[in-house]
Amino acid sequence: MPDIHVCEVGPRDGLQNAKHLMSTEAKKAWIRALAAAGLAEIEVGSFVPPKLIPAMADTAEVVQFARTLPGVTVVALAPNLKGFQRAIEAGAHKVTFPVSASREHSVSNVRMTPEQMVEEVRKCAQFPHPGVEIEGAVSTAFGCTMQGVVPEDDVVRIAKALAEFCDGVALADTVGYANPAQVKRLFRKVKDQIGAKLEGAHFHNTRGLGLANALAAYEEGVRHFDSSMGGLGGCPFAPGASGNVITEDLVFMFEAMGLATGIDLDKLFAAREILIQGIPEEPVYGHTPLAGLPKGFSAHA
């Protein structure tokens, strides 16, 4: 059992915001390489109208493929009941719903207010979904490029509502506004209300604080982290949003600290090469893959 659970969200958060399309075959090769590196949870796509995000049009096929990889929990994002039904039909193990705490981002992203979106997720939770886990992700929890400040009370209220019918709740810094002190404060506040239902942390690296924020969340007891290979990512409906915390650097940080992620760094770097081959025009980021592992480094195991 790893100490840290990493969910690779690049195939969804990364590719939804990429300027170029990755072919279905290249997605499969990348996901296969991620699984081979030990990523036990992969968010492989989203079930949104293909017209809205053409890069996600093949998600059903990608989910079906990812299900064949042993030991991988296949995650998909859905914005509404229709997306949830498509996700169940395709065989996703877990579905995550973006519930923005910022009213403006919520309306821009899903054309629903936060309250309407909470009700949409409730509807999904009431729809038969045997064996499928539901996660409510409170997005723009640390601030919003449209609305600016997002009151912490709004985040707590939404998290509490979601905890009533979701299996787990995550806090997401969709636009990279968070700082470590804020991360500690908000995770503590939400945990006081919903306890162990608060599971995941989803950070973007827009201001270079992704790892610092992840460490702050770790110190508050968080053990589930989303991250994206090569630091791809961003929400097309939140101006100024850029890439997620970088998987390669996140895994290096935790392994160097003596915490097991279950991920093999050399195989992770190999998966990065497959990603680059699959979408060569897209810029990729990351310090550890460029610098290499420190001399004498030994991973946790």
Q: Which residues are catalytic?
A: 235
Nearer CB in complex with Zn ion: 17/80: 17
Instruction: Kindly identify the residues of this chain, within the stretch 236-255, that bind ligand COA according to CB under 6 A.
Output: 237
- 102 vs 109, which CB is nearer to ligand COA? 109
Out of 48, 178, 209, 274, name the contact with ligand COA by CB under 6 A: 48
Nearest Cα to 211, choosing from 298, 288, 290, 293? 288
How far is Cα 187 from Cα 217, in angstroms, rounded to an integer? 7
For residue 12, the surrounding DSSP H or E stretch is: none
Least distance from Zn ion to the Cβ atom of residue 174, Å: 5
Q: Measured from the CB atom, is 51 or 295 closer to ligand COA?
A: 51
The option from ligand COA, Zn ion, none interacting with 33 (CB < 5 to 8 A, set by class) reads: none
Tokens standing for 184? 């500690």
> Can you say whether the dihedral through the CA atoms of 275, 280, 282, 286 is positive or negative?
positive
| Helix and strand numbers, DSSP H then E, in the chain | 12, 8
Which partner, Zn ion, ligand COA, none, binds residue 257 by CB below 5 to 8 Å per kind? none
Query: Quick one: which of 118, 128, 124, 119 has its CA closest to 83?
Result: 124
DSSP annotation of 79? S
> Does residue 37 touch ligand COA according to CB under 6 A?
no
**Positive or negative: CA dihedral 61, 110, 97, 235:** positive
> Is residue 123 involved in binding ligand COA (CB under 6 A)?
no
Q: Which residues, including other chains, have CB under 8 Å from residue 51's CB and lie 6 or more apart?
A: none
**Residue 177 within binding range of ligand COA, rule CB under 6 A:** no
| Residues making contact with Zn ion (CB under 5 A) | 13
Cβ atoms within 10 Å of 78's Cβ, excluding its own: 25
Range 92-121, binding ligand COA (CB under 6 A): 98, 109-111
Residue 258 in the binding site for ligand COA (CB under 6 A): no
Q: Which of 47, 11, 12, 17 is nearest to 30 (CA)?
A: 11
Q: Which of residues 67-86 bind ligand COA (CB under 6 A)?
A: 77, 79-80, 82-83, 86
13 versus 255: smaller Cβ distance to Zn ion: 13
Map tokens 């079906």 to a residue. 64
Whole-number minimum distance, CB 34 to ligand COA, in Å? 20
Query: Counting contacts by CB under 6 A, is residue 55 touching ligand COA?
Result: no
Residue 175 binds to ligand COA (criterion: CB under 6 A): no
User: Rounded to 10 degrees, what is the CA torsion of 214, 290, 286, 94?
Assistant: -80
> Residue with CB nearest ligand COA?
83
Site of interaction with ligand COA (CB under 6 A):
16, 46-49, 52-53, 77, 79-80, 82-83, 86, 98, 109-111, 235, 237
